[in-house]
Amino acid sequence: MAEELLPWLYLFNRGEDTQAYHRFGAHQVAPGQWRFVVWAPHAQALAIVGDFSAWQPLPLTAVEETGVWQGTFEAAAGQLYKVQITTGSGETLEKIDPFAFAFERKPGTAARLVAELDYEWRDRKWLAHRQQSRAYDQPLNIYELHLGSFKRHDDGSYLTYLEAIDEVLPYVKKMGYTHIELMPLMEHLLDASWGYQLMGYYAPTSRFGAPAEFQAFVDAAHRLGLGVIMDWVPGHFIRNTDTLAQFDGTPTFEYQDPHRADNVRWGTWNFDLGKTQVQSFLISSAMFWLQVYHLDGLRVDAVSNMLYMDYDAGKEHDRNQTGGRENLEGIAFLRRLNTEVFAAHPDVLMIAEESSDFPQVSAPVDAGGLGFNYKWNMGWMNDTLRYFSLDPSVRLAHPELLTFSWVYMHNEQFILPFSHDEVVHGKKSLMHKMPGDRYNQFANLRTMMVWQMTFPGKKLLFMGSEWGQFLEWRDWSQLEWRDLADPLNAAMQQFTATLNKLYRRTSSLWARDHSPAGIQITIGDSNQYLSYIRWGKGQDFLVVALNLMPEERQHFIVPVPRSGTYTVVLNTESYHFGGTWRRLQRTLRTRGVPAGDQPDSVEVVLPAMGALLIEQR
């Protein structure tokens, strides 16, 4: 057995094993026989304890000088186990298996034996389509979802993965989204961490069911035509002493330097991203979710924390060996991660949740970038929410909150996010951020969503925002579905679905998202109105006109690039969407008069605090 393991362990120790889950952890090697392989380089002795040994230690054997221990024992699928470690100082610890495929329900931390992850997939058509598509020139409209609080049973218990197939997927499909983004579903103990303080980097959380049931959820999503992205957290991990922390009695997964290891901001430990075995562990985890669970992408959490040595509290003056503030091993790790992922899966999404101005996050590694294909546009998000939360009279002094984003909108390949982070911890829901009375709050929200949908970049919206939920998001209870008994909330939901479907069918809103030629600003020097043209491939285009003030504008002139007949395809003030207009402008004919550097123009009534989307017939 040692001879069989040695070539792989050589690669693992060099940081070059990108599928370590095939060898580490617990694997059934024959009926009733399980092989256990654990990395604990500074341990004095290792054993497995579990149901199958009456929780008495079954010793593992060191594999030469590799830091790895292994043994084969009789056991059965479904039984629980832990790793017993005797440290160099003689202390005995019970730890999780870092490569476990499943765990018992919280608050327990024992791993559960999983016989196989050989699910019979039926998503071949989806995967073939994904391989033939380029994400950059396709629609990408993501519904961000926390599975534990989307819906719950009457007794407050969670939906299972299988129940979510019927409760979540048809709704997301009906609303017109292209993808679901799941907040982390890897095993974690603390509900209030929302899954961002992890212990199981290879195990879907047992809260909602078994691994095969999560595979069935992803499979069902694909067969409905929905992509599935999951948040993934390679920067830091939970502190609990029976998990990865001080795994073999010494810093094993975290930095040796306690100052660097300590993540004050989140109360966690930082991974040592320069350690080769940690690189194998984490890159293999990313590969695992893409290969075994057929995920369409990973949204990598807290990238800034991996890019900068001075990002965390108490580290404001930390510097690298060259005197800079960049975390050189973190940068190297991210480049290596993306290189390996795209070499194996060139058709997936690797999305950076990165809040700084670090350059070339979404540029290829061979061009000096980090290698992600998308970055969240946090600057656009912050400025947009600040602008729309202002009273209209105050907005007049702050047009830059909207127009500044034009300066850098093509610096990266962006996703425009209104995420969970913006509707929690006293920040108010999107609806509650809007100024004015209830009617004006909805009018503002509709116009802000048009701004998001027509601005260059892909889209993301957190659950509940689509109908204007007034309460902040609460992870401990389901969304306020009863809101939909209110006509304004129901109309807002209908508006979002209509806008989403218009986005999907209008190629000019996504085909040239990442090209300066994809947008032409025709009225941008006013602090009350905006107009611009979104260009698709060829001669496809859509004209956008926004009124950012609460007064209707009669005889408003909108520049257009061609003469002829136009149609208003969306008016945010339609009665059907909760507005006041029962008679809508439909057909517009050009005036034969140039405007805003365009050869022609149309005259419209621009609704108060509203938006028009205009297409040429």
Tell me the DSSP string of 123-136: -HHHHHHHHH--GG
DSSP assignment letter at 54? T
Residue type, 492: M
Lowest mean pLDDT among 449-453, 530-534, 535-539, 564-568: 535-539
pLDDT band at 1 (very low <50, low <70, confident <90, very high): very low
pLDDT of 447 reads 98
The secondary structure of residue 334, as a DSSP letter, is H
Are 421 and 378 in contact by the 8 Å Cβ rule? The answer is no
Interval 466-477: pLDDT, tens: 999 999 999 999
pTM confidence score: 0.97
Distance in angstroms (rounded) separating the CA atoms of residues 512 and 129: 20
| Residues 92, 86 contacting (CB under 8 angstroms) | yes
Token couple for 259: 């100052």
What is the model's pLDDT at position 586?
A: 87
Taking the CA atoms of residue 506, residue 514, residue 493 and residue 605 in that order, the dihedral angle to the nearest 10 degrees is -70
CATH superfamily, domain 435-463+477-617, is Golgi alpha-mannosidase II (2.60.40.1180)
Say which residue the tokens 């559960």 belong to. Answer: 112
Catalytic site includes residue 248: no
State the Cα–Cα distance between residues 505 and 528, nearest whole angstrom: 29
Query: Residue 85: beta bridge partners?
Result: 46, 93
Q: Given this model, what pLDDT does residue 3 score?
A: 58
Q: What confidence tens digit (pLDDT) does each residue in 361-373 have? A: 999 999 999 999 9
H or E element: which one contains 291? helix 276-291
Domain ranges in the chain are: 2-112, 139-376, 435-463+477-617
For the chain, the straight-line distance linking the first and the last C-alpha, in angstroms and rounded, comes to: 71
Residues in Cβ contact with 151 at an 8 Å cutoff, skipping those fewer than 6 apart: 159, 167, 168, 478, 479, 481
pLDDT for residue 486: 97
The per-residue pLDDT for 240 is: 96
Backbone angles phi, psi at 15, to 5 degrees: 80, 20
| Tokens encoding 197 | 């303080």
Q: Is the pLDDT of residue 5 over 90?
A: no
Quick check: 590 pLDDT over 90? Answer: yes
Tell me the pLDDT tens digit for each residue of 265-315.
Answer: 999 999 999 999 999 999 999 999 999 999 999 999 999 999 999 999 999
User: What confidence score (pLDDT) does residue 525 get?
Assistant: 79
Distance between CA 510 and CA 541 in Å, rounded? 11
Mean pLDDT of the region 398-423: 96
pLDDT, the chain, mean:
96
How would you label 282-300 residue by residue, b for 16+ Cβ within 10 Å and e otherwise? bbbbbbbbbebbbbbbbbb
Name the residue with tokens 């601005």: 455
Alpha-carbon span 99 to 86, nearest angstrom: 19
Fold of 2-112: Immunoglobulin-like (2.60.40)
> For helices 378-389 and 438-454, what crossing angle results, to 10°?
150
Kindly report the number of other CB atoms within 10 A of residue 381's CB atom: 22
Distance CA(20)–CA(351), nearest Å, equals: 23
pLDDT band for 182, please (50, 70, 90 cuts).
Answer: very high
Question: With 60 as the cut, is the pLDDT of residue 461 above it?
Answer: yes
SS3 content of the chain, % helix, strand, coil (to 5): 30, 25, 45
Taking CA atoms, 49 is separated from 10, 97, 189, in Å, by 27, 11, 21
Helix ranges (H only) for 465-584 are 487-505
- Note the pLDDT of residue 317: 94
Q: Which of 29-33, 201-205, 565-569, 582-586 has the lowest mean pLDDT?
A: 582-586
- State residue 431's pLDDT score: 97
The b-or-e profile of 471-504 (16+ CB within 10 A means b, else e) is eebeeeebbbeebeeeebbebbbbbbbbbbebbb
The number of residues making up the chain comes to 617
Reference 40, options 111, 93, 113; nearest CA is 93
Mean pLDDT of 157-171: 98
Instruction: Band the pLDDT of 124: cuts 50, 70, 90.
Output: very high
Annotated catalytic, 400?
no
pLDDT score recorded for residue 2: 56
Residue type present at position 86? T
Count of C-beta atoms within a 10 Å radius of residue 315: 18
What are the pLDDT digits (tens) for 604-613? 999 999 999 9
Q: Exposure pattern of 221-259 as b/e (b: 16+ CB <10 Å)? A: bbeeebbbbbbbbbbbbbbeebbbbbbbbebbbbbeeee
Q: Count the Cβ atoms, other than its own, within 10 Å of residue 325.
A: 15
| Same-fold call for 139-376 versus 435-463+477-617 | no
Question: Which one-letter DSSP state was computed for residue 597?
Answer: T
Q: 321-347: per-residue pLDDT in tens? A: 999 999 999 999 999 999 999 999 999
Q: Of the residues 17, 181, 187, 301, which is catalytic? A: 301
What CATH class has 139-376?
alpha beta
